[in-house]
Chain A
């Protein structure tokens, strides 16, 4: 499983995303530029210029027509994927930390930062998936977080719920149509030690995986917020992804270099960790990054994955035969 190294960013990676077909990969970093790559060979397809601050987040609609990005310049931008033209900019009082299209592409959620007297919010915009269309100026609704700000958010199946992960380790479920709070749970350690750093939905969006600074990742049922699985690691986590085809989760994180005394011994040893989704055991690691892993995305057909690091690199991996052959005895018995 020899990785392809994507060199195009000058600062640490913040998010990577495959499009629905899996042939394209989009990456954002703190260097103000969005990159698009061919996932098969790592060739750069293009860049998107226009943001005036660090990029925090990216998503692509299911038809690969529109790209949405959120940045430290307090804007969300919508881009024409093909031409790289900026089609729409929404301004906010604070940075935009996470954007995500709904599964039908008709809605976009965004999480805004809490800062300087502004509370954190989640906004939902209607989207017309057409590069010629005039996008709405105002959001459909805004959720304001009075207690703990949200750090990440995602859409459930059929846009029924919005799930938010918070700075204090809690997970909330909101009505996807009205933005009303339905319920919340203390999914991870309470306080900033349990801060939720990533939420990624399963392909059918009926469950999701969280990553937390408390060194665990959890699989949670999107309907009742019941914690179904817990993955225990020895490092703070920044990202967690689910693999289609195989029942695995891939976790990424690592101590910041400034927090480690033995940095020189850890060169290139920051690892993506593979766990069995059902049995919760660690089954393997892939090393290579020179700093913590900030973001992991899995190819939608389950044929590979990409990781983005604090070191400024994206590493794209294509799974080989032993990966697909790996099964537990009980899985073979009950196949």
Chain B
């Protein structure tokens, strides 16, 4: 019976974490989409770090 209770408690914790993770990821997806839309509206690149990353990659290539 103790084992059963412990398993139920564990399952509840896991379920709660799943819910928290899903909620967080859904919220992030929404926020990131909104931010991209606002950046595009202002005529900015969708990803502010894309240009920098491209530059870094180019520099890396030269070194190689």
What is A's interface to B at a CB cutoff of 8 Å? Answer: 103, 157-158, 204, 206-207, 221, 223, 228, 247, 278-279, 328-331, 333-334
Taking a contact as CB atoms under 8 Å apart, the answer to whether A278 and B21 are in contact is yes
A278-B20, A278-B21, A331-B21 known; A158 vs B42 contact (CB < 8 Å):
yes
Q: How far is the CB of B31 from chain A (nearest CB, A)?
A: 5
Determine if B9 is an interface residue (Cβ-Cβ < 8 Å). no
Distance A334 CA – B48 CA, assembled complex (angstroms): 28
Do B35 and A330 have beta carbons less than 8 Å apart?
A: no
A173, chain B: closest CB distance, angstroms: 16
Main secondary structure of the interface of B (DSSP, over half): helix
Contact with A along B19-61 (1 / 0, CB 8 A): 0111010010001100100110010000010000000000000
A157 vs B31: C-alpha distance when bound (angstroms): 11
Contacts A158-B38, A158-B39, A278-B24; is A334 near B18 (CB within 8 Å)?
yes
Instruction: Note all chain A residues with C-beta closer than 8 A to B31.
Output: 206-207, 221, 223
Contact residues in B for A221 (Cβ distance below 8 Å): 31
Name the residue of chain B whose CB is nearest to the CB of A222: B31
Q: Give me the interface of B with A, judged by CB distance under 8 Å.
A: 14, 17-18, 20-22, 24, 27, 31-32, 35, 38-39, 42, 48
Which of B14, B20, B42 has the most C-beta atoms of chain A within 10 angstroms of its own C-beta?
B20
Neighbouring A residues of B42 by C-beta, 8 Å: 158
**Set A204, A206, A279, A329: member contacting B20, Cβ < 8 A:** A279
Q: Which residues of the partner chain B approach A228 to less than 8 Å between Cβ atoms?
A: 24, 27
A226 nearest CB neighbor, chain B only: B27
13 contacts between A and B (CB under 8 A): A103-B48, A158-B38, A206-B32, A221-B31, A228-B24, A247-B24, A278-B20, A278-B24, A279-B17, A329-B14, A330-B17, A333-B18, A334-B18
For the complex, give the distance between the alpha carbons of A221 and B21 in Å: 16
The interface residues of chain B lying within 8 Å CB-to-CB of A207 are 31
A330 touches B48 (CB 8 A): no
With A103-B48, A278-B20: A330-B14 Cβ-Cβ less than 8 Å: yes
Looking across the interface, which residue of chain A has its beta carbon closest to that of B31?
A206
Once the chains bind, are A204 and B24 in contact (CB under 8 Å)?
no
**Are the CB atoms of A328 and B17 closer together than 8 Å?**
yes
The smallest beta-carbon distance between B25 and chain A, in angstroms, is 8
Residues of chain A within 8 A (CB-CB) of B18 are 330, 333-334
A331 to B18, alpha carbons, bound, how many Å?
8
Residues of A within 8 A of B14 (CB): 329-330
Shortest Cβ gap from A12 to chain B (Å): 34
Task: Chain B residues near A206: list those with CB within 8 A.
Answer: 31-32, 35
Distance in Å from the Cβ of A281 to the closest Cβ of chain B?
Answer: 9
Known contacts A158-B39, A158-B42, A329-B14; is-contact A334 B32 (Cβ 8 Å): no
Asked if A330 contacts B38 (CB within 8 A), the reply is: no
Chain A's closest residue to B39 (CB) is: A158
Which 8 pairs, one residue from A and one from B, show the smallest C-beta to C-beta distance? A330-B17, A278-B24, A206-B31, A330-B18, A278-B20, A279-B17, A330-B21, A278-B21
